[in-house]
Amino acid sequence: MIRLATLNDLSQINDIYNYAIDTRMATADLEYLTISERVKWFENHNNNKYPIFVYEKNNHVAAWLSVSPYRENRKALINVVEISYYVHKNFFRQGIAQELIKFIIDNSERYGIKIIICILLEINTPSIKLLEKLGFEKWANLPNIV
């Protein structure tokens, strides 16, 4: 089930993200985020414009997706957002990331979104293939990151 994230989800969201840091494949962060950092991140999102969604399975957060402004001080980019998504290792390869991405695509008009971008590390081939499957195009390359 996909639903809006709550403060009660932050511990599980953070655990999923910190695991992604360990893999050195899915994020450019190199150090774990603390719960207090995660709370600030959560508070900077707005359910009406920049929501955070969780995919709940068996009463656990199996994955999450956040919608964030992309260069929010640039007025011409006001309807461009960046999505980030992470799946718990026990739920890999079950189509959950695809469901989350399709969900935000299908609901983009509701949130005033015209363009969705996702910034990935080049070594994250599973996500690259998934996004291409969903119609995303590669716009740029930043080699030798991480």
Q: Indicate the angle between helix axes 96-106 and 125-133, nearest 10 degrees.
A: 40
The β-bridge partners of 92 are none
Strand partners, 84: 66
Q: Which residues contact 9 (CB under 8 A, 6 or more apart)?
A: 54, 61, 64
Q: Are 52 and 45 a contacting pair, CB within 8 Å?
A: yes
**Cα R_g (the chain), whole angstroms:** 15
Rounded to whole angstroms, the Cα distance separating 91 from 61 reads: 10
The structure tokens 């932050």 sit at 10
User: Would you call 47 helix, strand, or coil by DSSP?
Assistant: coil
At 10 the pLDDT is 97
Average pLDDT of adjacent 10-residue blocks, the chain of 146 residues: 97 96 87 94 92 96 96 88 96 96 96 94 92 93 71
Task: Give the pTM.
Answer: 0.92
Residues 6+ apart with CB under 8 A from 97: 63, 65, 85, 87, 127, 130
Distance CA 72, CA 79 (A): 9
CA distance 131 to 98: 8
